[in-house]
Structure 1
Amino acid sequence: MANESMAKELGSRRFWQAVLAELVGMFFFIFIGISSTTAWAPPIIPSQVQIALAFGLSLATFVHATAHISGGHLNPAVSVAFLLLHRITPLRCLAYSIAQCLGALGAAGMVYAITPTAVSNNVGPTTPGAGVEDWQAFLMEVCLTFQLVLVIFSTVDGKRASPGGSGPLAIGIAVLVAHLGAIQYSGASMNPARSLGSAVVGGVWNAHWVYWAGPLLGGLLGAVTYDYVLDPNVSMGRLRRCPTCEYGDEDDYTTSDEMNLNAIPTESK
């Protein structure tokens, strides 16, 4: 049964459209974001506000552009959180994560290629700030990704009364405020693929483990906190089960197909 389901997914045109959407959306999100970090000759030196706006607004833009195709994850930490809470299949999580990493690598490479050699450009690596220990940067990444994924799961909750406004914009603002508050601590990555692209192209690998372990743990904690603690529609059936167990018929649970951001496109739609 599992093999048949995987084969059906691999043979689906919409599956590959979703994977491509993750690659393209990630490319432009990271391309715009790390372009803002380039330090040109004075007085054109990027400020924390400029970088925060570039990352936050570009994420909002491309989540909006890809949400109806792939769910607009644009982050392996988000995809893994959706996988562990049974919102997407393992195959989709793997394909999304690879596409996201390739998109980030392509974006970092493009910024490097088109930036004049006279300009100091290390394609925006995420490293602990001056005097910040690796463990401190790790905890910051956990907290920042926790709040981002908490916002995402709250936003895509299909059973919540519509608060008005824009879900993608709320997600983008979560990234924007994280940069404003914490870029000096850890670079405010919240995204393993974003850090990977800059590390590969720029050759800066300082404390790189922080930018995988921190976002993955923070994303899982944020997802579990919303689904099992804060969700007003949580049922006793769901609470009795572990976060990674299969859901039973007794669970009052909104599947991804019903979510506002359309997290799992299906052939039946």
Structure 2
Amino acid sequence: MAKIALGNSREATQPDCLKALVIEFVATFLFVFAGVGSAMAAGRLASDAFVGLFGVAMAHALVVAVMISAGHISGGHLNPAVTLGLLFGGHITVVRSILYMIDQLLASAAACFLLQYLTGGLATPVHTLASGMTYLQGIIWEIVLTFSLLFAVYATMVDPRKSSQGAQGPILVGLVVGANILAGGAFSGASMNPARSFGPALASWDWTDHWVYWVGPLIGGGLAGLVYENFFICRSHAILPTTDEAF
């Protein structure tokens, strides 16, 4: 059973960590820019709701696949829920995971403020629950969708048995994101990513239902990391040390 690695305070100043943070910022920025931008375009152009949803799903699927590959230095998390899932599996330290999450939130906010400027002040569409959806239903939607996302990340990119699927991992994860948006977009919004929800909410200053998009994805991501790491993974690699120096 993998244990959570704490890391140490000097980790934040190490060259490899700084380089990873820059890559994670750039990859998350471009992901949110394309994802939120596609939602803004769909709201302006699509006359049919499903056509708009399909376009948003495909845009997210493509940009996730590309940015995971492009962000290989940092791991291309793009998502605090992914970072948390990998933390629970012992693949990233607590210190670095906190830095990654802050990085992802800043990148998302920067992308959304830039989109507002470039579109002449259009509001960035926020994730909210559909009419008639309860908070519990929304949270469960986000837990299930994010669990499937992290399960795919582990199965295709983390598990040492991934073999030939390793190169295809980013594409497969992107397809899961697209499929999940098609499945849950009309109900919970299918965020699966607190950073993806945070940027639009901050830029539009609309925090309706926002807490749902932290609780659901973080539970789903953390649960997937624990389940896959402890029940399915065949560990042949050395996990991060769990006895670290004091902060």
Q: Same fold (TM over 0.5)?
A: yes
- Aligned to 1:186, what secondary structure does the other structure show? coil
AA of the residue aligned to 1:106: A
Contact 2:6 2:93 in 1 (8 A): no
Taking structure 1 as the reference length, the TM-score comes to: 0.80
- Aligned to 1:227, what secondary structure does the other structure show? helix
Q: Which string of whole-angstrom CA distances, capped at 9 and with x for unpartnered residues, describes residues 149-184 of structure 1?
A: 000011221233324751111111110000011100
Would the alpha carbon gap of residues 157 and 41 (structure 1) be closer, same or farther in structure 2, given more than 3 Å must change?
closer
- Aligned to 1:166, what secondary structure does the other structure show? helix
- Determine what percentage of the aligned residue pairs are the same residue: 34
Would the alpha carbon gap of residues 32 and 20 (structure 1) be closer, same or farther in structure 2, given more than 3 Å must change?
same
Instruction: Give the alignment partner of residue 224 of structure 1, picking from 211, 223, 226.
Output: 226
Name the one with the larger helix percent.
Answer: 2
Contact 1:145 1:190 in 2 (8 A): yes
Contact 1:192 1:212 in 2 (8 A): yes
Determine the structure 2 residue equivalent to 1:103.
107
AA of the residue aligned to 2:62: L
State how far apart, in whole Å, the 1-side matches of 2:87 and 2:30 are. Answer: 24
Contact 1:157 1:254 in 2 (8 A): no
AA of the residue aligned to 1:151: A
Contact 1:49 1:180 in 2 (8 A): yes
AA of the residue aligned to 1:95: L
Residue-pair matches, total = 232
AA of the residue aligned to 2:82: V
1:58 lines up with 2:63 in the alignment: yes
Determine the structure 1 residue equivalent to 2:54.
49
For structure 2, which runs of at least 5 residues remain unmatched after alignment? Answer: 241-247
State how far apart, in whole Å, the 1-side matches of 2:45 and 2:171 are. Answer: 32
Instruction: Give the alignment partner of residue 40 of structure 1, picking from 21, 37, 44.
Output: 44
State how far apart, in whole Å, the 1-side matches of 2:94 and 2:81 are. Answer: 14
Instruction: Give the alignment partner of residue 19 of structure 2, picking from 17, 41, 51.
Output: 17
- Aligned to 1:47, what secondary structure does the other structure show? helix
1:6 lines up with 2:13 in the alignment: no
- Aligned to 2:206, what secondary structure does the other structure show? coil
- Aligned to 1:86, what secondary structure does the other structure show? coil
Determine the structure 2 residue equivalent to 1:200.
202
Determine the structure 2 residue equivalent to 1:240.
none
Instruction: Give the alignment partner of residue 237 of structure 2, picking from 237, 245, 254.
Output: 254
State how far apart, in whole Å, the 2-side matches of 1:224 and 1:86 are. Answer: 9
Contact 1:107 1:197 in 2 (8 A): yes
- Map of 1:102-121 to 2, 5 A cutoff? 102-117=106-121, 121=122
Taking structure 2 as the reference length, the TM-score comes to: 0.87
State how far apart, in whole Å, the 2-side matches of 1:135 and 1:213 are. Answer: 10
Determine the structure 1 residue equivalent to 2:154.
153
Query: Which of the pair has more CA radius of gyration?
Result: 1
AA of the residue aligned to 1:10: A
- Aligned to 2:164, what secondary structure does the other structure show? coil
